[in-house]
Each structure stands twice: as C-alpha cells, then as structure tokens.
C-alpha cells in the first residue's frame, strides 16, 4: 500500500477493510518518513506493532 492511500484510510470516517498478512487490522498511525504504519488486529487491540506499508492490503 502506498503512503498516501494509507493516510486516506486513517482519515476516513468509514471503516475500510485492510489486512496485514491476511489478518484484518486497524491503522492507528502512518509514519511517512519511514514508510511504516502502527497497526493492531481488529480482535486484539492490545497487540499493536509497527509494520512496513508494503505488508498492508486493502480489500
């Protein structure tokens, strides 16, 4: 996923389906400089982590 699309998803008032390695996730924050995002699985909000935007897929 590119940085601009990830930022659009974060700003969207609608829930947009995004996965990381097949797991549905929520994007908390996008780091434009690093090309990463802070995410967590929808069913495990306590398990947040930083991943490369290249691991994110929009469905």
**What CATH number corresponds to the domain at position 46?**
2.30.30
Residues comprising the chain, all counted: 59
Number of domains present in the structure of the chain: 1
**Which regions in the chain score pLDDT beneath 50?**
none
Q: What is the pLDDT, as a whole number, of residue 4?
A: 97
- Cβ-proximal residues to 50 (8 Å cutoff; 6+ apart), any chain: 31, 36, 37, 38, 39
Its domain, for residue 15, covers: 3-58
């Amino acid at each position: 996923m590119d940085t601009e699309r990830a930022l659009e998803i974060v700003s969207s008032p609608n829930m947009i389906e995004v996965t990381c390695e097949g797991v549905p996730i929520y994007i908390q924050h996008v780091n434009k400089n690093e090309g990463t995002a802070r995410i967590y699985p929808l069913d495990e909000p306590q398990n947040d982590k930083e991943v490369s935007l290249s691991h994110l897929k929009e469905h």
